[in-house]
């Protein structure tokens, strides 16, 4: 790859018109692949641009037309989680390599993950490129409960009480999620502070206060045992009804609590008008995949997202469960 004496990347806030154009083009290309969340994400990025909160880099072209745009969330403590868009006409492996080269040397915190959704660059090329940089792919799949399927509601064991959640449960839900994900890969993947309780607090805050669309307390439930919250589901209106969290305290698993919570949450989502509740699961999370399949969720077509992650930088041991070739098939729709 040719090296460059000076890095041409600039702050997108200096090029608002070009940035907006590339954001719009990217949104359209993602929507064309069947990503129904593309509109939400594009609007979120536009709004960040308007308020000055957008973080990223633009590659201005010689004739004024921008060639590429990258954006990221920077947690400081962990690193940057980025995405890339190459403008039509610049969608090639060499342009991607060049852009990554400059981004990695821009003096910011290191990149710990990249979205694999880079329109125009073949999947095999993206794979070779990110693997050669030490990144591992993590597949996140969307599942949907078909309208015709109802999860039977069964009472929870004596001593356990299922109840709706309210805003005043926020701190208790965060403490529960810390116990739920303690030592689990999931939290490391999405960590922004490297402190489990603080990460759980930030995740719950985001879900409850608009970061994942409107929170739906009427479809969010908890289970109490001996005065403590031991399991919960959270639900949001995020491009439709989304079950944004399912977690059971390690000491209370295999008692049917997750199944009972999913039954109530999906029923209330339907009462609120969301006929086909959705959720997103990391494919190596076999327990969760088995649970969702067992109660009737199905993988959606084209709903699998691949994220390239620098696992050692995220504090995840090098040996991680791999998704199976069957799971690879789920991703085929996105190629």
Ligand X SMILES: CC(C)(COP(=O)(O)OP(=O)(O)OC[C@H]1O[C@@H](n2cnc3c(N)ncnc32)[C@H](O)[C@@H]1OP(=O)(O)O)[C@@H](O)C(=O)NCCC(=O)NCCS
- Contacts with ligand X by CB under 6 A lie at 180, 184, 186, 246-248, 253-259, 281, 285, 287-288, 290-291, 294
Q: Which is nearer to ligand X, 25 or 206 (CB)?
A: 206
CB of 286 to ligand X, least distance (A): 7
Q: Which ranges constitute the DSSP H helices of 6-141?
A: 16-32, 38-51, 93-104, 123-132
Residue 130 has φ and ψ, to the nearest 5°, of -70, -35
Q: Which is nearer to ligand X, 9 or 180 (CB)?
A: 180
E-assigned strand segments in the chain: 56-59, 68-74, 80-86, 111-115, 136-144, 160-164, 214-215, 221-225, 228-237, 241-248, 278-282, 298-309
CB of 239 to ligand X, least distance (A): 17
Mode of pairing for the β-strands spanning 56-59 and 68-74:
antiparallel
CB of 11 to ligand X, least distance (A): 36
Report the first-to-last Cα separation within the chain, whole angstroms.
25
Q: Which is nearer to ligand X, 184 or 195 (CB)?
A: 184
Q: Which is nearer to ligand X, 84 or 230 (CB)?
A: 230
What does each C-alpha distance from 149 to 9, 13, 25, 198, 289 come to in angstroms?
50, 47, 37, 37, 17
Q: Which is nearer to ligand X, 100 or 156 (CB)?
A: 156
3-state secondary structure string, 225-249? Answer: ECCEEEEEEEEEECCCEEEEEEEEC
Q: Which is nearer to ligand X, 133 or 287 (CB)?
A: 287
CB of 299 to ligand X, least distance (A): 13
CB of 108 to ligand X, least distance (A): 30
Q: How far apart are CA 139 and CA 281, in angstroms?
A: 8
CB of 301 to ligand X, least distance (A): 19
């Amino acid at each position: 790859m040719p090296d460059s004496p000076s890095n041409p990347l600039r702050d997108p806030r200096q090029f608002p018109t070009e940035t907006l154009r590339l954001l719009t083009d990217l949104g359209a290309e993602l929507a064309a692949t069947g990503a129904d969340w593309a509109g939400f994400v594009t609007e979120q990025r536009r709004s960040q641009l308007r308020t000055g909160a957008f973080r990223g880099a633009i590659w201005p072209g010689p004739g004024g037309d921008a060639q590429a745009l990258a954006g990221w969330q920077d947690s400081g403590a962990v690193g940057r989680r980025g995405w890339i868009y190459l403008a039509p006409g610049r969608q090639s492996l060499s342009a991607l390599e060049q852009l990554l080269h400059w981004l990695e040397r821009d003096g910011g915190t290191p990149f710990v993950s990249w979205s694999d959704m880079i329109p125009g660059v073949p999947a095999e090329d993206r794979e070779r490129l990110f693997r050669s940089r030490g990144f591992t792919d993590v597949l996140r799949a969307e599942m949907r409960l078909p309208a015709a399927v109802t999860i039977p509601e069964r009472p929870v064991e004596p001593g356990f009480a299922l109840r709706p959640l309210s805003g005043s449960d926020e701190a208790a839900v965060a403490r529960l999620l810390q116990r739920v994900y303690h030592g689990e890969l999931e939290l490391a993947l999405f960590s922004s502070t490297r402190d489990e309780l603080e990460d759980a607090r930030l995740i719950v805050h985001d879900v409850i206060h608009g970061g994942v669309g409107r929170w739906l307390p009427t479809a969010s439930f908890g289970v109490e045992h001996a005065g403590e919250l031991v399991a919960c589901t959270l639900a949001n209106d995020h491009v439709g009804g989304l079950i944004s969290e399912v977690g059971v305290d390690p000491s209370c698993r295999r008692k049917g609590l997750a199944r009972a919570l999913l039954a109530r949450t999906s029923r209330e989502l339907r009462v609120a008008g969301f006929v086909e509740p959705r959720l997103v699961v990391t494919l190596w999370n076999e327990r969760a995949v088995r649970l969702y399949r067992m109660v009737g969720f199905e993988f959606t077509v084209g709903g699998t997202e691949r994220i390239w992650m620098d696992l050692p930088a995220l504090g995840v041991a090098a040996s991680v469960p791999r998704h199976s070739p069957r799971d690879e098939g789920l991703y085929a729709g996105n190629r």
